[in-house]
Amino acid sequence: MDLFKKLGAVMRRRGHDKDIRDSLAHYERFSGNRAGMKQAFSDAGTFRSQVDRLFALADDSDIQPLKKMAETTVMTTLTNRYYRAADYLSDILDDLERVTFLTGESLGEPALSTDLERHERETKLKAISEAWLVPLKVASIEASLSSYTGVIGRSLPYSALEDFERNVARLFAITEESERTLVEGKVRTFVSAWHEGEALRSRYSAPAAALADVVSFLSGESMPEGTEGLRRRRHDQPLRLSTLVPEDRQHYLRASFSYWDGNI
């Protein structure tokens, strides 16, 4: 970020000072924690730092969606031990700040910035909200993390848990709520298989690396085998999970996860 962008972000934060205070007060009221205190098991800093980062992206037209993001992170992580509010909001912000492939548009949804037209900002915020602000997805991320810590324990560095969290969160964001049970089952099965299987451990240094492969398949960065003949919603679209007709999404999911299956 250059100097002018940094100054612009500071000014936007100052312009939304009341909204920031409201979001922090909401967090402290419902969580019982101080917004400036780093959470246990969190690698994303404090909730306050993430809210500052969130409102640095804001303009006057999208304050309410951004406030809802901050509030929803609190309400859906209250009982979580691992996937806490600061991590959740940090993951959402990562997707706001980069190109995403959630709606099926060929070029994806551009990073949220002051250069975007209002309708582009609205499209980006809607796509992120529908992908991330889903309580059942957050529950599945927490369940996946609990399974990981139960199986892996302290046999890997703490940074490996952080990487696993980032990748499993992106995995659930890319997939739909109706696919949650399939995805969670595949992740939990793989974690156990990696722990018990020498072949998988020789192939992947940590479970997070395997999840990163699947994320790259689902977002269209690379292509799994067994996807011939799958139908896209428009013939001019690239092949990725979000561009497929609903009837073919599970085939693509299973093809992506089958990349692990040879060693499970």
DSSP string, 224-248: -SS-TTPPBSSTTS--SGGGB-HHH
pLDDT, tens only, 217-232: 999 999 999 898 999 9
Distance of CA 176 to the CA centre of its chain: 12
pLDDT, tens only, 165-213: 999 999 999 999 999 999 999 999 999 999 999 999 999 999 999 999 9
Distance of CA 251 to the CA centre of its chain: 22
Q: Closest Cα to residue 150, out of 209, 207, 74?
A: 207
Please tell me what DSSP assigns to residue 109: B
The reported pLDDT for the residue numbered 207 is: 97
The burial of 72, by beta-carbon neighbours within 10 Å (0-12 exposed, 13-18 middle, 19 or more buried), is given as buried
H or E, element range at 212 = helix 207-218
3-state secondary structure of 33: coil
pLDDT averaged over every residue in the chain? 90
Confidence of residue 29 (pLDDT cuts 50, 70, 90): confident
Record the pTM. 0.89
